[in-house]
Every structure is written in structure tokens, then in C-alpha cells.
Structure 1
Amino acid sequence: MALEQIGMICVSFGKTSYMKKILFLVSFLAFLGSAMAQKTDQKISDKVKVSFPNKPEEEKLPTGGTAFVCKTDSNSSCFAMSMDLSPMGLSAEVITAAGDALWEQLKGGLVAQMGGATIAKDQVLPFKGKNALYLEIDGSKSSAPLLKGKKAYGYTFFIGAVLHQVMYYSLPSEALPEAGKTFFESTVIEN
């Protein structure tokens, strides 16, 4: 029965005008493209999830964390990561007690990993109810693959002893802090 119906659809499709076939094909391809480019909600830790423009690639970091990278187009990408720092002896209490000195230490560690990139702007801001280190990074002289020739914008924050980071990377000619706004706003922190 199902084969007969498919056959009838194929026969009737064969009788339709050329323009209708093209319209059907374009509509089908547009539907297929939108289905493939669906936003993907990704849990980056027990308490944080973000919505990527499409399915991100997952990478285990040598330091024990997990990173997710999603290319939005050939010039830009979204990045999110989490890493539990308790195995390194840091607890939520130690992190809270460190205050602003913690952000300075964190910046120093980031600069060491950025392959020559520089921090163009940094400030502690509220982000989704947490204190976060907001960074604008100039990667024009960086040798790090994700930063090389790009600018990056993003937030680094803690929940307990777990470090989280959400970043947006783009070529300098197209890089504006607002470009990552949708990605940053998609961040959800569960209580």
C-alpha cells in the first residue's frame, strides 16, 4: 500500500510543471538546510548550558576540563568550557575568599596560554547573576589556532570550584562585542 502511494506521488510529480518542480526542490532544500542548522543546547557542566548555533565539537582538555567549539561560519566561532578546579586544591570557599586577586591570577594564566594574544579590555561584571571576568582579546599576533588572527569576547565565571568560560571569536574586520550577544544570552545557569 505504501509503495503504491509513493509511486502515485512520483507519477504526479512527473506530471507537474518544470517551475513547480524547481519551487518544490528549493523549498525542500531550504527545509533541509534549516533542519541541519538547528540550534543545539549543550550542557557544559552540571549547572550550565549554552545554545550553540549548530552542533559543537567536544574536546577533552589536558587539564581535565571539557570544551565545546562551534564554527558559526568560516570567520567566527563560539566556544564554551568548564573545568573543575577542586582536584587542584581549590574550593568554593578559597575562590570566594580570593576576591579580585583571583581574576588577576586567572588573567595571567590565560595570557600564558594565548600564544602571543593580548588582552585589550578586562573588567569584572555581573553575568547571569555571577561575578564574571569579561575579556576582549586581540589575537592578531597569536599563534594559538582558535585565536590566530581573530578577536575574542567573552565571560569567565565560577560556580563553586568549577570554572566556566563562554567566548565568541571572529576575524578582526567583523569582530564586534555585540556579535556574540545571542550566544552569551543563551547561557543558562541552573540553581
Structure 2
Amino acid sequence: PLINLYDRQARDVSTEELEERAEKLLENMTVTQEQSEIVEEETRALSKSNIWFDQRSGRITASTFKAATKTDITKPSVSLIQKICYPKSHSFTSEATRNHEELARNYYEIQHRLAHSDVLVETAGFRISPTHPFIGASPDGYVSCSCCGPGLIEIKCTFCAKALSEGEAADLANFCLEKNEQGTIRLKPDHA
């Protein structure tokens, strides 16, 4: 796990020296495609798996990527660093949420089968990028069919808008959906 690379003495060095250390570290950091696939298979239980937390520790994930690219490098967000380095203490996924996610994935599969052939829907584990091993992601599932090929599933909780129609919910600034120029409802491209 990347968290093992923590160096307490690095707290007192300049930003320039930290950048140099990071560059050297990245030059030597490798994750093969095979290793990435093994980690993905071993972490399909997600937050029930200690391996999932270990492999996420120290990596920028899909849920932290936007904040990581926006934080000030000279004064990075402490909460962001904590979320990246200690995902176990910042994971708020409840058993109820996981159950709803499974129900949503099953419902998606049923709906997808109505218009597609040879549908396969699977849960996904944590996948580390072999080309950028400091980055990883845990999609909510994989989907494939003979007509569209492979894809990812990302499940969003819309409980905060349960009393609203899709159109009304898409008008909320902090909601995951929006209306495009044609009025079609879609996932916000910059949703984090």
C-alpha cells in the first residue's frame, strides 16, 4: 500500500523538495496490468474488504480526483489529504446504501436486458491505473452486451430528491443530473 511510503520528516521540507521526491517516487512506481486485475478481483467486496482500503490508501480515486486537481499545491486541503490517505475513516457507505446499490444494479440489469442482447452485469472492485499507479477507481459495476460492448455502471443515490420529478431534480444546483441544451436529462459531466 502507498500509505507505507509516509515519511514524517517530509512535513518540514519545501514544496520544491516535496515535488522532487514525488517525481523520483513516481519514476519507480509500477503496477502491471496483471497486478491491477488481481487487485480488482480481490476487492470486489469493496468496503467489506481490508484490501480495498489498503489499496485505496494514498491513491487519488474517482471520488477525490476533482478536489485533488483543484486544491492549492502549496496549501493542500487537510481534509482531502486525510480522505486520500485514510479512506477507512472517511468511508460513510452504510449497509443500507450497499443494499440499495445492489438493488439498483439488479434493476439496471433487468431494464438493460429489455433493449440489449447477451447482457452481463458484474460488480467491480478497485482498479489501479497501470499507467498512473497513484490513481484508482471503484466503479459500481461493469456492463457488457453484444450490441454496445463493455461499459461501466455508476449508481447515484437520488434520495435527496425523492419528492421531485426528474425534471425538478435536474434543476437543483447540487444534484447529479442536469438538463442539456435540448432539455434532455443527463448526468452532469463534472459531477464528482
Query: TM-score normalised to the size of structure 1?
Result: 0.23
More helix by share: 2
Kindly indicate whether structure 1 or structure 2 has the higher relative contact order, using CA contacts under 8 Å at least 6 residues apart.
2
Query: TM-score normalised to the size of structure 2?
Result: 0.23
